[in-house]
Amino acid sequence: MATTAPAKLTPADPAGSGPPAAPAAAAADAPALALHDTPDVAVRAVSLPGQRDWGDGTPVFPRCLLASSPGGAQGTPISAAAATAWAAANRSALDGLVRRHGALFVRGLLPADATAFASLITDGVAADNFPYVGGNAVRTAVVGDVVFTANESPPSRVIPFHHELAQTPDSPARIFFFCVHPATVSGGETPLALSTRVYDRLAAEYPAFVRQLTQHGVSYRRVMSEWDRSSSAIGRGWRATLNVSSAAAAEAALAARGYTWEWLGDGSDGHGRLLREVSPPLPATRAVDGRPGAVAFYNQIHAAYTGWTDEYNTPAECVRDGAGGALDADAMAAVGRVLEACAARIAWTPGDLMYIDNRQAYHARGTFEGRRRVLASLAK
């Protein structure tokens, strides 16, 4: 039985979907909403428990939207086709909102159905699909190559805050998460953290550390088994990670991306040949497109430093600065604290959608009990 109660909705911006004037508290964001209703879908901005509003001019995070069927009774479902048509009609406005806020949380728009989610991505938002190559999480395809399961790591383990695939030279610009059903017993939220705020805090409190990362970048090192290991949060094998079917092809793929590597062991432990990869120096901070002066703490160091642990990997060895230097332990502990301080946690309900700017917002996963089905899609 679900103990994660649906979040209570509080109207915050009733003018968001139409011309009437917004109340004073919402006026600052009303011009940026610019969403248009369709005959079957009306959408307005709301506040949800767990959403962040710092009250200092930073846009609320994430921007929360509530969809309903105009003319229908409260809770009348919106069809997948109508949801897709609404998203298509509001494509550029949605993109603008995601850029402004870092992430959108949309409730009431989609039925809790994977094919509806896929249609919204491909035909509504028209996202340019980003294949999941180079990541270290075990995933399963659900709808074509567009929708797959979110990281299948064990429920008892937190997935730390990270930017998707920031440990690789090529990462997706956008991520979509979709809740088919929340954890049936407890937990399993997908916390978000605003990366520009994380950068500002760390640059003020640990300037030397931020300078080190900005100057040298960061390098990630990981030992991969040949075959996937679902017992590990970073258990994706090198065949799947690199999308190859031979050791020679793995070496060619790594060389093409500027990595170095080393083969370890004799493959006798049942997980195949072990491959240690070392990334080239990758940027650890990133200017935000369209937001002059805004810098994101765009990297994977927190997840690597705290979460890349299994029988083959030791977290502190998994991340170094781009010149090979160790990262300061106190500063790394501060990264974790700052991420928590900048986090938003909204409980999932069936059909909820997150639309995330991967350059501006971190995501994570809490532990959970019971069964949980949250799907994901990546876009360029």
Query: What residues make contact with Fe ion under the rule CB under 5 A?
Result: 164
Token pair belonging to 310:
């299994």
Q: Which is nearer to Fe ion, 29 or 164 (CB)?
A: 164
Strand, helix or coil at 215?
helix
Smallest separation, CB 336 to Fe ion (Å): 17
CA-CA distance, 256 to 251, in Å (whole number)?
A: 9
Q: To which residue do tokens 């695939």 refer?
A: 165
Q: Which residues contact 30 (CB under 8 A, 6 or more apart)?
A: 13, 15, 16, 22
Smallest separation, CB 73 to Fe ion (Å): 37
Q: Which is nearer to Fe ion, 125 or 364 (CB)?
A: 364
Q: Which residues contact 167 (CB under 8 A, 6 or more apart)?
A: 136, 220, 279, 282, 299, 300, 303, 304
Smallest separation, CB 184 to Fe ion (Å): 22
Smallest separation, CB 156 to Fe ion (Å): 18
Q: Which is nearer to Fe ion, 69 or 168 (CB)?
A: 168
Strand, helix or coil at 252?
helix
Taking CB atoms, the residue at the shortest distance from Fe ion is 164
Token pair belonging to 279:
């990334």
Smallest separation, CB 151 to Fe ion (Å): 6
Q: Which is nearer to Fe ion, 139 or 216 (CB)?
A: 139
Residue 377's nearest CA partner among 84, 142, 192 is 142
Residues facing residue 106 across a β-bridge:
65, 353
Taking each helix axis from N to C end, the angle separating 195-205 and 329-341, rounded to the nearest 10 degrees, works out to 140
What are the phi and psi torsion angles at 293 (to 5°)? 90, -15
Residue 107's nearest CA partner among 361, 350, 356, 298 is 350
Q: Which is nearer to Fe ion, 87 or 364 (CB)?
A: 364
Smallest separation, CB 161 to Fe ion (Å): 9
Angle value at C-alpha 119, between 193 and 173, nearest 5 degrees: 35
Smallest separation, CB 300 to Fe ion (Å): 10
Q: Which is nearer to Fe ion, 78 or 376 (CB)?
A: 376
Q: Which is nearer to Fe ion, 58 or 129 (CB)?
A: 129
Q: Which residues of 160-172 are buried (b: 16+ CB within 10 A; e: fewer)?
A: bbbbbbbbbeebb
Q: To which residue do tokens 């979110």 refer?
A: 150
Smallest separation, CB 65 to Fe ion (Å): 22
Q: Which is nearer to Fe ion, 160 or 217 (CB)?
A: 160
Q: Which is nearer to Fe ion, 139 or 291 (CB)?
A: 139
Smallest separation, CB 329 to Fe ion (Å): 25
